[in-house]
Every structure is written in structure tokens, then in C-alpha cells.
Amino acid sequence: MKIITLDGPAGAGKSSTAKALAHELGWYHMDTGAMYRSVALAALEQNISLENEKDLAELAASLDIQSAHGDAFLNGRNVTAEIRIDRVTTATRFVADAPSVREEMKKMQRSLSEEFNLVTEGRDQGTIVFPDAELKIYLDASPAARAARRYRERVDLGDQSRTMDEILHSQLQRDQGDRNRPVGAMAVAIDAIIINTDGLSLNNVVKQILKCACDRGLISD
């Protein structure tokens, strides 16, 4: 099947772009960050030590995780909101750092690509999970724009518990972790097209990607 990968740091607009793009193309939207978050939520709920890689990998392999079109399901339960709370975000780092969990996630992600045309978003989709993807995009944005986007998203959900500065600070810390993990680090694939979303509307970003897909012969006009 065909694959478009969207990688890049938190807050660059990957999720809204991937969702709109998948909708436009009629393809499956896979949010791999939501998949890592779902494993972290399950680990917290089942009191599994975040330091125990073997237990985390066994847990990941045992779960039914679905991430489709912006919603996340863990063993059939809709966990879309729960996986975004700060406690889960913090725990997700341990899950994402564990190489054997990443192996399990890679298997799950690749098996979906056998069934569906995919728009997949994450950190390692173009580099490690789908190195042969037809089109690879790396979405970037300035730290200030990324923090402002996350701040607005939280306020829209009624959460004003953290200031924009606090969000910026934790985002920069998360970037460091994402860039430096020994396996599955966030990186730009050598054949990726980089789009900086600063000042661009969602519509504009989606149009640019559709044009790239057209130029590659992935879709027709």
C-alpha cells in the first residue's frame, strides 16, 4: 500500500496536518505518538514499572491499540483525552525510550500498512519504520510557535493549568529526549521534504504536501 510519513517535533502541527491530509486522500491516519501514549497509560493503570523494559515490551505486545483518524482506543476503550494528561505524557518518555517496546510498535505500525494506504505521523516513521515510504515530510516550526500551538490546544480543552513558558520549557526538554534516544531518535530522513509551518495555515501546509504527492505520482490532480 502507499505511505506518506509525517515526522517532526511536538507542536509543529503534525496531527492536524495528518488528519486533514488523510481525510482529503481517503487514507488511514495513524498517530504513532498516541500509540506510545496508550502503552504508557496501560503501564500506569497496571502498575508496571516504567524502568522494566521487558515488562513494558510484554505489555505492549499484549495490548489492542488502535489509532485512527485522531481517536485512540486501548483494548476497545476510547482513551483519546486520557493519553494527553501530563502524567501520561511524562510516563511516555520511558516507554518510547525502550528499544524492545519500539520493536513491538514497529510491528504493529507495519502490519497496518499492509491493509491500508497510510498517512502516518511520529518521530521515526520515515527513518526507521517506513524507510521506503513514497513520500516523507518533516514538519518543523520555531519553539515559540510550537509552544503557542500547544497552549491554545490546551486552553480550547479548558486547561489553563500551565503557562506558555512552562509548556515551552517542557517541550524543549521533550525535544532533547526525542532527539537523543539511542533507538528511534527523532531525525530528518535524508530523502524527506522539510516544511517549516511558522506562519502557514493548515490549508497551505496540506496543499503543499498534496502537491508533493501529485509530483511523485502518488495521486492524480
Name the residues that contact ligand DC, by CB under 6 A: 10, 32-34, 36-37, 92-93, 96, 122-125, 174, 178, 184
> C-alpha grid cell for residue 221?
490532480
Taking the CA atoms of 192, 11, 198 and 220 in sequence, report the sign of the dihedral they define.
Answer: positive
Q: Determine the residue type at 66.
A: Q
Q: How far is the CB of 215 from ligand DC (least distance, A)?
A: 26
Q: How far is the CB of 212 from ligand DC (least distance, A)?
A: 21
CB-nearer residue toward ligand DC: 90 or 196 = 90
Q: How far is the CB of 152 from ligand DC (least distance, A)?
A: 16
CB-nearer residue toward ligand DC: 11 or 213 = 11
Answer yes or no: are the C-beta atoms of 180 and 200 closer than 8 Å: no
CB-nearer residue toward ligand DC: 13 or 122 = 122
Q: Return phi, psi of residue 97, to 5°.
A: -80, -15
Q: How far is the CB of 170 from ligand DC (least distance, A)?
A: 11
Instruction: Name 121's bridge partners.
Output: 6, 31
CB-nearer residue toward ligand DC: 76 or 182 = 182
Q: Determine the residue type at 114.
A: E
Answer yes or no: are the C-beta atoms of 122 and 33 closer than 8 Å: yes
Tell me the CA distances in angstroms from 46 to 43, 60, 62, 83, 100, one per residue in order: 5, 12, 12, 15, 19
Q: How far is the CB of 203 from ligand DC (least distance, A)?
A: 22
Q: Measured between alpha carbons, how far is 104 from 217 in angstroms, rounded to an integer?
A: 32
CB-nearer residue toward ligand DC: 6 or 206 = 6
